[in-house]
Homo-oligomer: A and B are copies of this chain.
Amino acid sequence: MKKISRSSPSKIVFLVMDGVGGLPHPETGKTELESARRPNLDRIARESLCGLTDPISPGITPGSAPGHLALFGYDPVRYEVGRGIVEALGIDLDLKPGDVAARGNFCTVDDKGIIIDRRAGRLSTERSAELCRLLSDMTVKGTGLSVVPVKEHRFALILRGEGLSPDLTDSDPQQAGLAPRKVQALSQQAQRTADIANEFITQANTRLRNESSADMVLLRGFSRRPAIPSIPEIYRLNPAAIAAYPMYRGLARLVGMKVLPTGDSIRDQVDTLRRHYDDHDFFFVHYKQTDSRGEDGDFLAKVRSIEELDSVVADMLRLDPDVLIVAGDHSTPATLAMHSWHPVPFMLRSRWCRHDDVPEFSEQACLAGGLGRLPATEIMPLAMANALKLDKFGA
């Protein structure tokens, strides 16, 4: 792609409806999308080339990070983003290439050191922030440590220094009734980092001894920011991200997008898009509600979130981008109340797409689309082609 991509003034707007795909409601037989009033999405479908995307491969349920990496054109199996990094991205931390991040939990243990509750009763975010402050003025073997609160019992641990390695086992056994484990090095050069992590755990547990809310820390998902070629580098784009949730801003930053400040609602986001429309040639607009309401298992609320999105889509259409993409990073059927493996409705609207007969934006209709089923990683090449930003391959 690097060889044939070229810069041009044409604009690509890439709207991601997080978790948009669904499953039929047992009573009506209709999915969330099929149940929603969505005149604008349906209008786009009629002017688009449609299909169903497989985020990773059939049957595989993606986390948010691989789901988005695939949308951005990266092989999500090759570019793995570890738990710790996802956690750090999720609180807008700007990680440096050598940093090692881990996800931390505050937990409670009995007097034999056996875990009673891996989440310390989901202690309040405020209380958790106090405990993080208690642990934050620590230096271990010359390595700087940051302990940053995330939400409830969750925090991120960042190690910053020379020669660190993420090749470590978890201390979190992921199950109550067991003792926390020692962190172990999975390679020779990770030994020093393992020692640092274990020393941090010991010191932290000492400091927590007199606290009532939690007794110990558990660490998992040691990882480093993947070395990933950036979107400006690969596609010669000048990309911007408009996302209300920190994690998606973090993922966008990871692939070299400029993150635009925006408000909490999708209306704010579309305002931001309009205001900055002249400054970039690629916009990633992330809509979170479809996923959140799906994970709540609230079918009706997910339907309403689709309708809310639909009402602002008209404003996006008024900008008339050269390529408008509506996609999802995965399905989140309300009936399952979690991410799922089901392929995701997709549409691409452009003057140069050979559009199909799909009359509406739904799982069933997109299946009969001109793209059929396609890997999500094929979206970026299609977006680039339809924006006339690709040279011919070969003579």
Contacts and interface: CB of A to CB of B under 8 A. Distances in A.
A356 interface: yes
B394 A62 contact: yes
A60 interface: yes
Contact of A81 (B59, B60, B383, B395): B395
A231 B215 CA distance: 42
A86 B395 contact: yes
Contacts of A297: none
A54 to B, nearest CB: 9
Interface in A61-103: 61-67, 76, 80-83, 86-87
Contact of A395 (B65, B383, B384): B65
A246 interface: no
B381 A58 contact: yes
A59 B378 contact: yes
A57 B378 contact: yes
B23 A59 contact: no
B23 A354 contact: yes
A352 B381 contact: no
A161 interface: no
A173 interface: no
A144 interface: no
A289 to B, nearest CB: 20
Nearest to A67: B394
Interface stretch (A108-116, A185-193, A302-310, A385-393): A385-393
Nearest to A29: B355
Contacts of A248: none
Interface string A361-395: 00110010011111000101111111000111111
A354 B56 contact: no
A350 B185 CA distance: 42
Contacts of A4: 60
A342 interface: yes
A153 interface: no
Nearest to A62: B393
B24 A394 contact: no
Given A385-B341, A390-B341, A395 B64 contact: yes
Main secondary structure of the interface of A (DSSP, over half): loop
A94 B296 CA distance: 52
A63 B395 contact: yes
A336 interface: yes
A393 B66 contact: yes
A149 interface: no
A395 B82 contact: yes
A388 B294 CA distance: 17
B393 A352 contact: no
Nearest to A374: B58
Given A59-B386, A340-B352, A341-B382, 13 more contacts: A58-B374, A58-B382, A58-B385, A59-B385, A59-B390, A60-B381, A65-B395, A76-B394, A80-B394, A83-B395, A221-B395, A342-B354, A354-B363
29 contacts: A4-B60, A57-B378, A57-B381, A58-B378, A59-B383, A59-B384, A59-B385, A59-B386, A59-B390, A60-B381, A61-B390, A61-B391, A61-B392, A63-B392, A64-B395, A65-B394, A66-B393, A66-B394, A67-B394, A76-B393, A81-B395, A82-B395, A83-B395, A86-B395, A221-B395, A340-B352, A341-B385, A356-B364, A356-B367
